[in-house]
Amino acid sequence: MRLYGYNTSEGTLGSEVTSFSVSDLNGNNPFQWLDSTLLGYSDIHTIELINTYGFNRGFDYKFVRDQIKKIVLDAGSGDEELGFNSLTSEQKIICAKMKIGTFSQRVAVIGLDPLITEMVEYRKKTQESRDIRSIIAEVELRNRLNTHTADVLSQAGALFANYKLYGVDGLDWGDTVTGIADYIDDTAGYQDYLASIGHTGVGLRGSSYEPDGMSLSDFCDRLIDVLIHGVYTYEG
């Protein structure tokens, strides 16, 4: 997804126009996260503009932070450290506060004591994001796999807890240990995890469960969207 600003008669919100009134919008949202271009909107997908306008647009803090991290990774051809080095001073400060870049890079930009303060805020915000995602995923589990919920939680309870507490997604998502996404997608990493604790079995995608209302494949995709990508429709 990318961030887009609405095109008013005076220019694009965010990139060309920074103050506006409701009457300027003609009933449209001022900013939107979109998968493709929408008539009446222009791409404003930069680190600075995402940081200023990307929050509270229907997605949680972790989603927005991850979009900024993708820009950094792209700038470094997949290398976060190289990408960080290519940023402007303003962009580096934004990223350092979002735990993007190496520890030494972040300390060099804002200093150790300020970084610790920022990391407390970062932890609070990402924890809040994971809490909401976890609640939605668990409700999905309990309602779509009603009779198998206890089995799923017994198989993946520790991985689920590591996700909620520490943000461990999984081996295929940049972590060095097995995570909840490995269980959902039934990866080789999940099989190694089972072997390490003396168990055998399959992950969710490899199971014979039949979720209510959708296929097992779609259900697994749904959980990955919620937990990893932060894409969900709950608006509470």
* Phi, psi for residue 14 in degrees, rounded to 5: 95, -60
User: Do 144 and 204 meet the contact criterion of CB atoms below 8 Å apart?
Assistant: no
Q: Which uninterrupted H or E stretch holds 41?
A: strand 41-43
The average pLDDT across 6-21 equals 95
* pLDDT of 198: 87
Residues near 153 by beta carbon (within 8 Å), at least 6 away in sequence: 141, 160
Give the whole-angstrom CA distance, residue 219 versus residue 139.
13
Q: How confident is the model at residue 35 (pLDDT cuts 50, 70, 90)?
A: very high
Q: Dig out the tokens for 27 from the structure.
A: 């009933």
* pLDDT of 235: 47
Q: Three-class SS of residue 13?
A: strand
* pLDDT of 236: 42
pLDDT at 42 over 90: yes
pLDDT digits (tens, 9 = 90+) for 81-96: 999 999 999 999 999 9
Place of tokens 């991290």: 69
* pLDDT of 234: 53
The average pLDDT across 108-137 equals 96
pLDDT at 53 over 60: yes
Give the whole-angstrom CA distance, residue 232 versus residue 110.
34
pLDDT at 14 over 60: yes
Going by DSSP bridges, is the β-strand pair 2-8/11-12 parallel, antiparallel, or unpaired? antiparallel
Ranges 87-96, 108-117, 120-129, 166-175: which has the least confidence: 166-175
Give the whole-angstrom CA distance, residue 169 versus residue 191.
16
Residues near 198 by beta carbon (within 8 Å), at least 6 away in sequence: none
Bigger pLDDT: 156 or 72?
72
Percentage, residues of the chain above pLDDT 70: 98
Q: What does the DSSP assignment read for 110-132?
A: H-HHHHHHHHHHHHHHHHHHHHH
Q: How confident is the model at residue 113 (pLDDT cuts 50, 70, 90)?
A: very high
- Which of these, 158, 164, 155, lies nearest to 137 by C-alpha position? 164
